[in-house]
Amino acid sequence: MTERYVPQFSHKDWIDNQDRVQAGGENGLNSRFHQLEAEFLGLAENQINPMLDVLGTPTRHLTLVPALHSYAKDGIAVPGWEQAVDMVAKPANVAEAHGFMNIVLPDGVQVRSLLVTGSNQSSTGTLTVSLDGREIGNNDAGTKRFVSSTKLGIPAPPAEEVRIKNESIRYYLTVEVVGAELTKPVKVFCVQLVYQ
């Protein structure tokens, strides 16, 4: 929350025929104008600019139909999703499905939430959708999870501030279900990221 403005500068009146107005010195025009300048600068940085940042940044939504790629882990292929035109589904007779897709958000935006829509008829299966990233140099820093959701239809906020840095991080979504009953369907219709 922005702190309330408390004036720091207080003008001491000059008295006619008693005070000699001058540019220099502790009570001179330069000193007083520099105090006013510092006051306005502090007001702008601490009160006005933070409010403009909040008011001036519109909330945007990126809504994606999952178009997932399958992958291998330690050289072994992991079960993928069945791809439909507007959704993905866990294949029948498997307990898990894994996939990922590339995602591009505007540089510098702040991610506010991740929303997943779909259906999970498995009472034992855990569906997890995450925004992950890795440094573009593919160094040993590993993958970082920025925001994750395990509940359908409920926006999940990040645990800490997530600011997109396209110059150094590549981003992707991971969509996985584990521990599902073999015959119970699990589907993902869309993934929506809210950002400012």
- Domain locations along the chain: 1-56, 60-195
Residues 6+ apart with CB under 8 A from 60: 109, 194, 195, 196
Q: Which two tokens stand for residue 27?
A: 């009570």
Whether residue 66 has pLDDT greater than 60: yes
Q: How confident is the model at residue 56 (pLDDT cuts 50, 70, 90)?
A: confident
Q: How many residues does the chain have?
A: 196
Report the percentage of the chain scoring pLDDT > 90.
66
Which pLDDT does position 5 carry in this prediction? 72
Beta bridge partner(s), residue 194: 61, 113
Which pLDDT does position 10 carry in this prediction? 77
CATH architecture designation of domain 60-195 = Sandwich (2.60)
Whether residue 1 has pLDDT greater than 60: no
